[in-house]
Structures are given as structure tokens and as C-alpha cells.
Structure 1
């Protein structure tokens, strides 16, 4: 079976490896935003499709039999395009969505809907560890009455202002390292997205132990698709179609 995986996550790599081992022809598409990405088994395609029409054309030209959306839970536009392209092309779509994090009973989370709401929720003089990626950075950095530690894998295309410090690093992160970072920087607020998974979950436990407030940006809504939460379920869904 010929399968296109919209990837960029650890789960997408794991799924591609399993499918290739099972004898399927797998192409993983990466957006190309990260330099030196970890590559999965099978073929790799890097770059944009050119919207819904471009993705539909690619599905037909490449003879794709199954489409998997295994992008980041906040890759809203790509997920929406996958739904529309699957409906237009007739190619069955499976969405591989890692389970969301659940707020512990004794943790202090503020759940908001957008980066703008997250930025507005910060009190003056907050010291925030910002782990939301590149999208919407300008919204937070406009708060010059706060201090930010901006943790990203790749540097942004602009110089961060004086009230922010850039921290370039790649997950996974350990609990000890996260606690040490928060204590060293005097972090009062952790601003993050509910990405789920284990690679970056330690920051939540570190915040809970240190009494740091978590400002959690909720997940977006997704269009209709057959959704699974683990690799075995994804493989089973692909075998029978959507």
C-alpha cells in the first residue's frame, strides 16, 4: 500500500518505521521549518504542497492510497487541508493524534483559547518560560512589562527584545533539568500548548512542584477524520481504510 504521512513528530517517524518494516511504500512529508530534522524510514518530501488543491493533485499523481495526518496537534492549517483533500480526492484519512495532557488536581493551570489570551493573562512583572513555538511570538513580546525566556528549536527571524532571552534547545527534557531552569531563571509562569506526549511533559511536573502557574493554550478544533491515539490503532485503521 502507498501511504503519505504528514509528519514532523516523533509519532510520525515511529509510524513510518513500522509501516516500512511491514512492507508498505511510505512517503513522509515535512514542512521544512526545522534544519537537520530526524528522518523516518521510507521516502521524505520536504516543503509545502501549495494548499488543498496542491495536496489533492499530489495524492492523485503519486497514487497515494492512504493519507495520515500525524502533524503537531497545533498544525491547524495542515490538518484542515488534510481533511479537505481527503474529502475531495476520496483517499481515506487517518489522524494520528497523541492524547492531550490532563491537569492534575493540585496543579495551577489557566486554560486559554489563543496566544493573545495567554499573553493578556500574564500579570505585570511576570517571568515567563515561553514554549509555544514561533507562531505568535510577537504577541507575547509586545508585553514589555514582563520578562520572557523563549525556548525554541530554531531561532526566530527577528532579534528578540531586551526583555526576552532566547534559549535554543531540542527535546526531550528531564524533570531535573526543567526544575533547574525554572529556578535559575526565576520563572513565575509557564506558557505552553497542550501538545501531549512525553518528550516535553516534564515541564508541567516541574511547574507543579515549584508552584509555577501554567498558562495552557487549548487545542484547536479539527475536521472529521478517523482519529487514533497510538501506533497499533493507526496501523489497524490504515489496513481497513477510513
Structure 2
């Protein structure tokens, strides 16, 4: 049986390594959103499938016997498409979805449903640090009266999409100490993040707590139905049952 791993997260890289060590026949698919992605320990393909029809053709033509979706929690359209196509083809589908972050003592989080909703929270003139990726930047255009700093992994290939914004290039991981120093240096008043979950990327939230910076937390979109696991070990156990 050949397993298709929809990758792009730290969990996907770990799962790929364990699959390779267990000699599971698999291929990892990367969307290509990052210019120099960390390649998994499996044969890999980079780029989209061409929509639902293209994805279905790939699954059929490559003889895929199971799909593990370890994409980002906000890649909900890809996950919904993958689950739907697998259901139509009768191919087992598993979503490896890490738990969402939960606010604890000392956290000052304001949850919003959409990127556009942060405009109602953040006052004009605030220095806003966006740790939300580059693909949805235009949705924050209502913050044009703020000093907006957007961090992304790759150097920008164009101007900032609205006035008052600038890019900051940085490649994770970032320690809590690094984030504290950065936020102090920039004079950050608000942190905006998507509730991606995961321990490595929580450092910015811990830094915000230490500096008493409020956080606009964008809630996760609805996820597709179907089997879900939270850990790589659970996903590996699922693969052994097929």
C-alpha cells in the first residue's frame, strides 16, 4: 500500500521520518508556499494538484491506498477537498491535527473569527505584530492607521499590500527570549496570531504574556469530518491498522 502524506508542518516531517524508518511506502506532498521548504524523509512532490479533479486523478494514477493529511490547521480548504475526494474514492483518510492553543493564567487573548475582525479590537496608532503568514495579509487592510509589522519566512516579492505596513523576514524556530527582545525593540502593542497550536511556535505567545501584550487570536476554521489524531504516534498506529 502506498500512503500519501499531505505535508508542510513539523508533525508531517516527524511522521515522514517515522514512516521512512518503518519502511512504509509513502510519498509526501508539499504545497510549495515556502521557497526553501524543509524536505521530509520520504520521496516528495512540490506543488498543487489542480483542484479536486486533479487530486482524484493523482490518487488513482499513483495507486494511493491511504491519505494522511498533516497540513496546517488553517489549510481547511485543502483538508475539506482531500477528505471529500477520499470519501468518494473509498480511500482511508486521516487528519493529523495538533491541538489548538488554550489561554492560561496571565494570557490576555481576544478571540476573533476572521482576520478582518481585529480592526474592531486594535486602536489607531498601535504597533501591531502580525505572525499570521503572508497569504492573508490583505485581510488586515483595516489596520492602515497602525504601524503593522508582518513576519514571514521568505523575503517579500512585492510591496506591502496596504499603507503603514512593513515586512520582517525571519525563519523559525524563535526562542521566548528572542521574541521578548524583538517585541521590546519594535515597541509592539498588539500581537495577532492564528490559533495554529504546537509547542515550538508558542514562544511568541509566552513572550506576549511576559510583556503583558494583548493578543488577537484568530480562531480555527471548521475542519472536515472524518478520523482525526493529535499526535504522530497515533497516526503511525492508525497506519498499522490498514
TM range (shorter): over 0.9
TM-score (norm 1): 0.95
Q: Deviations over 1:158-212 (max 9, x none)?
A: 3125622211111111011100011111101000001111221111011011110
Report the Cα offset of residue 136 of structure 1: 2.3
Task: Tell me if structure 2 keeps the 8 A contact 1:119–1:139.
Answer: no
Distance in 2, matches of 1:36 and 1:144, equals: 31
Gaps of 5+ in 1: none
Instruction: Report if the CA contact (8 A) 2:95-2:227 is conserved.
Output: yes
Q: CA deviation at 1:126?
A: 1.3
Corresponding residue of 1:137: 137
Q: Is the 8 A contact 1:178 1:203 kept in 2?
A: yes
Between 1:49-58 and 1:139-148, the stretch displaced more is 139-148
**Post-superposition offset of 1:74:** 0.5
- For each residue in 1:124-156, what CA deviation from the matched residue of structure 2 results, as whole angstroms up to 9, or x when unmatched? 111111011113212224422101111011244
Contact 1:30 / 1:47 at 8 angstroms: preserved in 2?
yes
Output the CA distance in 1 between the equivalents of 2:107 and 2:159. 34
Corresponding position of 1:224: 225
**How far is the alpha carbon of 1:105 from its aligned partner?**
2.7
Structure 2: gaps of 5 or more residues: none
User: TM (normalized to structure 2)?
Assistant: 0.95
Indicate if the aligned counterparts of 1:94 and 1:238 stay in contact, CA closer than 8 A: no
> How many Å separate the matches in 2 of 1:180 and 1:194?
23
| Residue equivalent to 2:111 | 111
Matches within 5 A, 1:48-63: 48-63=48-63
Cα distance between partner residues in 2 of 1:36 and 1:166: 18
